[in-house]
Structure 1
């Protein structure tokens, strides 16, 4: 049984969005720009979005947040920002998006800096962080759908929402609403988009995660990055790395049926 988190707004009956799109593998150089979000947008110019992974890069400035306790208006919030300065990205997965007409991204990853004693995993701040040098990124460029940030009445968070940009085939952009098992909901949403076998990429958050072969994790808010994910004959298996409210980091496979979405999950599913 999943743990649930009660949010302040009304919960729509429809618990996911799934839009078909096309995805092609890319190996890009992100240029230096005023913000990390702008660097990603420039590299993906001509596409409607993308899922990218950065590994082994030093940023001129690296700011991030981790999960924080509930507030009067949100069931959970953020703690930080944690300011690493010229921090090092060990690995970062990100969705390219748009917000208020400008470049945006939603990225979770693992970070480091000399002498750093704070959290080492979290949600990167896309307008405060910036590259030091041109940086390699690999992943998938998307056409036919994209993410645009809009306020979500249920959670009262500004969240990525998939929007149609002409449609496509072979992939789907998916978002999951809170309080449903992540693996089961991913499989159902992908099937609605016509995909029953493929790769699952993305990020999100989970309530009190349950990882296979590990002790229960007591943290009603987390940030997660998918490190592996497969859809096979309509069943989803998802491996994640995550950070808790106390800043501890964990990695493992989600136990099916036991991991409720906390705020959102934002996924790119690519058919085999």
Structure 2
């Protein structure tokens, strides 16, 4: 079965993934109150080069997010719809990468949200400068040293995207930051990139976007652009198993295991692989 693909505005890069080895340390941190969620996260991870955090059951004083959408200009293969403005909402479950953009802290997070009397979409891409906490909260995840994700212009998709960058060589590199390019199956590309990174066994964390996702035992999802959050991920004997939550162009949500070989990447996949 041939994979569905999107036509992006720029030439396809010869290298279909990027890798930076690093040290990952398990952490539990307090996010302090700040003007923005980005500033709260940056303060909590100030001693690290970057990180991956999970936030659950956390109230926000303001919560704005996006879902996938069409680009009305036609300049990109996919775009965003929104912002969806919940006001005083609540994070049910949010996973986010912490890196930098233009030399300042930045984050990329996907998650599920709720608010009283809210009837709009319940999952999407959180806006880190428009959203902010209601009070300090706890988060858990991984603090990284030796590498981080940095936003750079991408000539293939014409998006500014996170890419892994080494900061310093570290003697205890037990992890790798990996980004995957469009129009390749996520599980297969992940396994190939992990092999290049020297990892055959790993826990996998991250997020990204898929074209017409297929979940095992479920009907095909009719959406050429989606946003996903990995809810569980493992790499064992060079084979990846990924569970994810997905939001479509219409705002519908789906959960399940990605069917290997049938989930092409839409724009990007940004992943953290941690050796057991």
* TM over 0.5, shorter chain: yes
Deviating runs (4+, > 4 A) in structure 1?
none
Supply the distance in 2 between the matched residues of 1:153 and 1:34 (Cα, whole angstroms): 33
1:103 & 1:179 partners in 2: Cα distance? 29
The correspondence for 2:197, drawn from 166, 184, 193, is: 193
| Secondary structure of 2:161's aligned partner | strand
> 1:95 matched to which residue of 2?
97
Provide TM-score, normalisation by structure 1. Answer: 0.99
Q: Tell me the distance in 1 between the aligned counterparts of 2:158 and 2:271.
A: 20
Counterpart of 2:214 in structure 1 is 210
The match for 1:172 is 176
Give the Å deviation of 1:46: 1.4
- The equivalent residue for 1:43 is 44
Q: Hey, what does 1:235 align to over in structure 2?
A: 239
CA displacement at 1:235 relative to structure 2: 0.4
Partner of 2:87: helix, strand, or coil? coil
Other structure's SS at 1:84 match:
strand
Partner of 1:106: 108
Number of residues of Structure 1 aligned to a counterpart in Structure 2: 272
Cα distance, 1:166 vs structure 2: 1.1
Q: Which residue pairs with 1:125 in the alignment?
A: 127
Q: Once the 2 structures are TM-superposed, how far is the Cα of residue 54 of structure 1 from its aligned partner?
A: 0.2
Gaps of 5+ in 1: none
Counterpart selection for 2:158 from 152, 156, 159: 156
User: Residue 266 of structure 1 corresponds to which residue in structure 2?
Assistant: 270
Partner residue in 1 for 2:34 = 33
**CA–CA separation in structure 2 for the residues paired with 1:46 and 1:27:** 13
CA-CA distance at 1:241 after TM superposition: 0.2
Q: Structure 2 CA distance, aligned partners of 1:167 and 1:38?
A: 27
Calculate the TM-score normalised by the size of structure 2.
0.97
Tell me if 1:141 matches 2:143: yes
State the alpha-carbon separation in 1 of the partners of residues 154 and 99 from structure 2: 16
SS in 2 for 1:139: strand
Matches for 1:239-254 after TM superposition, within 5 Å:
239-254=243-258
Distance 1:224 1:8 in 2: 22
For the aligned residue pairs, the C-alpha RMSD in angstroms reads 0.7
Shift of 1:256: 0.5
Distance in 1 (CA, whole Å) between partners of 2:195 and 2:273 is 10
Gaps of 5+ in 2: none
